[in-house]
Structure 1
């Protein structure tokens, strides 16, 4: 039975981010590392977007936008993102970057198999795949188990679910330097629904019909709304280049309570997704840096997580969306209608001071959050 210092069950974004940070630190060259995943990471299965003022993975950023539109049925606002830019990374480009680095280190290995079980046994751990068994000192688990959240009611679960079409149109209707962050002008139908557009030229763009809601739709419903939106843009002829589909869990469930001394949950399995927005890339970057820094001096994974004010802000929003899902447009519109966009994005990145928090929160419907706060207290 082969033994490793570290085994990653799953090799998605957070696992690869963490391995990348290990490599950058230069402190783990004497540690044997194994990544196990049934997905070989050979196709472009997703895209990640984030706002950034630095050069986070700039070498593989496929597109940047300096402006973004926020809209609903009553107003349309162009947000100047300075000092930020909104950036897009293709999943395959990220996989290639990290796996190329991994291939240059003999202490790191990848196994294309499905993990069927893992557990902690005293001072070591065991991981089983469909055909092999391994032991290790530490496990980084990114295999999300939805039952952990769906079998409880204390913390609401909202899905960010979407279908996207990357299209090329006959008409030049898109503004290449301006993304559409949220367009709530689409019919809400008792939910929080919006269109999200990432243009790459005046005739090409990714359009995603997105919901923050408890229940998913049939595929035909998403695609009918995308077709309707395309028509409303004035597009008469277009071809679909690519399609993508996703479902991101948005919850404040305390996943860290399932961490043990030698097993830590990361990524969606560890609550690394930003609960109020579903954004993952920037959060995973921050968490992976913190985790690798933690490993330099600590060995007990139960000590890693620290709850903060942003977790509580997100919890109140999800409490509202869980009980009154139709109010999402009202809440986000109140923030973006006249608020300072750079402060809002800084707030969503969890980097604001308490005074800056108040500048954002004060624009939101106050009684909704007061009632949500009282509900949590009582």
Structure 2
């Protein structure tokens, strides 16, 4: 049985960010590292977006940037000047290639295309079984999400950000390549929080995603019918579908960190690294992976890694509202963006605001909804 210092079970966004930064730091060159995943990471299977004020280490993977965005619902449309931020798009395959190009130069890192079937932890050793081999390690980074642990409890709301996206090429020049559509709530809500998300890369090409924040998935045909209707409403009559993607991201404030042990840490979705109130993953994972690599250089007990912040509580309040009244998402986000300062909103969503700035953002939202949510959350906490 081969032994490693570190093993990553699952090589999603969080794992690859962490490994990349471990390599860049130069502090782990003497550590044997194994990456295990049933996915080869050789296809363009997803798209991530994030906003930033300056260049990041992922510049090679960014395929498009926008300085402008649109927020809309049935009653108003607002053009947002994002400066000093830019909205960035990262295609999955570009990101994987950036990370694997660096991995290929490392003698101490191994990637195996194998499915993890079992993990067994003893006091000082972790055993990992795949569909073909067994391995051991001293420290394990797990990003394989086990939804039963989260969904079989009632204390913390669990919604899904679920979507299907089409990257299309139109015969007509319809799109504004300088402006992304951040959220368009003009689509029928049907008792949920539903919106279209549009990322134009040229006047004739764009990624369009029909997205919901809700409890249950739809039939595939319903997502695609809504995308077709939206394309038609844009005035596009002839187009070609270049690529398709789909996804479902858990939105919850469930305390994943309580599942960490001294030698096993849950990262990514399994560690609660997704921004619970929006489903945004890239920026949160970027920040958390940096914190984790710094932590590894001085600490050995993974139970010490996590810290609760005020933003966890803010997310919990919004999720409590959407859990009970899922149809209110459009009005909540619309009230925030209708007159709110976009720069301040993005800073708030990045969890970088002061308490005074938090209040400025929160006061744009329907106040009674959040006051009631405070009491709801407090009541649940006392149970």
User: What TM-score comes out, normalization by structure 1 length?
Assistant: 0.99
Shift of 1:60: 1.9
Partner of 2:159: 158
Partner of 1:11: 11
| Structure 1, 49-58 or 173-182: larger mean CA deviation | 49-58
| 1:74 counterpart SS class | coil
Shift of 1:281: 0.6
Q: What is the rounded CA distance, in whole Å, between the counterparts of 1:208 and 1:10 in structure 2?
A: 26
Shift of 1:268: 0.4
Q: What is the rounded CA distance, in whole Å, between the counterparts of 2:96 and 2:60 in structure 1?
A: 13
Shift of 1:84: 0.4
1:152-231 matched pairs, under 5 angstroms:
152-231=153-232
Q: Does residue 104 in structure 1 map to residue 115 in structure 2?
A: no
Q: Does residue 314 in structure 1 map to residue 315 in structure 2?
A: yes
Structure 2, unmatched stretches of 5+, are none
User: Could you say what the CA RMSD is over the residues aligned between the two structures, in angstroms?
Assistant: 0.7
Partner of 1:352: 353
Shift of 1:53: 0.9
Q: What is the rounded CA distance, in whole Å, between the counterparts of 2:252 and 2:67 in structure 1?
A: 30
Shift of 1:173: 1.3
Q: Does residue 298 in structure 1 map to residue 311 in structure 2?
A: no
Q: What is the rounded CA distance, in whole Å, between the counterparts of 1:21 and 1:59 in structure 2?
A: 15
Q: What is the rounded CA distance, in whole Å, between the counterparts of 2:92 and 2:104 in structure 1?
A: 18
Q: Does residue 20 in structure 1 map to residue 13 in structure 2?
A: no
Partner of 2:252: 251
Partner of 1:48: 48
Q: What is the rounded CA distance, in whole Å, between the counterparts of 1:189 and 1:11 in structure 2?
A: 36
| 1:240 counterpart SS class | strand
Structure 1, unmatched stretches of 5+, are none
How big is each residue's C-alpha offset from its partner over 1:206-234, in whole Å with a ceiling of 9 and x where there is no partner? 11100000010000000111111111111
How big is each residue's C-alpha offset from its partner over 1:10-54, in whole Å with a ceiling of 9 and x where there is no partner? 011100000011011110001000000010101111111011112
Shift of 1:131: 1.7
Shift of 1:119: 2.3
Q: What is the rounded CA distance, in whole Å, between the counterparts of 2:139 and 2:17 in structure 1?
A: 17
Q: What is the rounded CA distance, in whole Å, between the counterparts of 1:184 and 1:128 in structure 2?
A: 46
| 1:54 counterpart SS class | coil
Shift of 1:237: 1.1
How big is each residue's C-alpha offset from its partner over 1:110-138, in whole Å with a ceiling of 9 and x where there is no partner? 11100011122111111111121111100
Q: What is the rounded CA distance, in whole Å, between the counterparts of 2:44 and 2:235 in structure 1?
A: 30
Q: Does residue 78 in structure 1 map to residue 79 in structure 2?
A: yes
Q: What is the rounded CA distance, in whole Å, between the counterparts of 2:150 and 2:351 in structure 1?
A: 24
Partner of 1:279: 280
Q: What is the rounded CA distance, in whole Å, between the counterparts of 2:168 and 2:75 in structure 1?
A: 27
Q: What is the rounded CA distance, in whole Å, between the counterparts of 2:134 and 2:61 in structure 1?
A: 36
| 1:337 counterpart SS class | helix
1:87-126 matched pairs, under 5 angstroms:
87-126=88-127
Q: What is the rounded CA distance, in whole Å, between the counterparts of 1:80 and 1:158 in structure 2?
A: 30
Shift of 1:372: 0.6
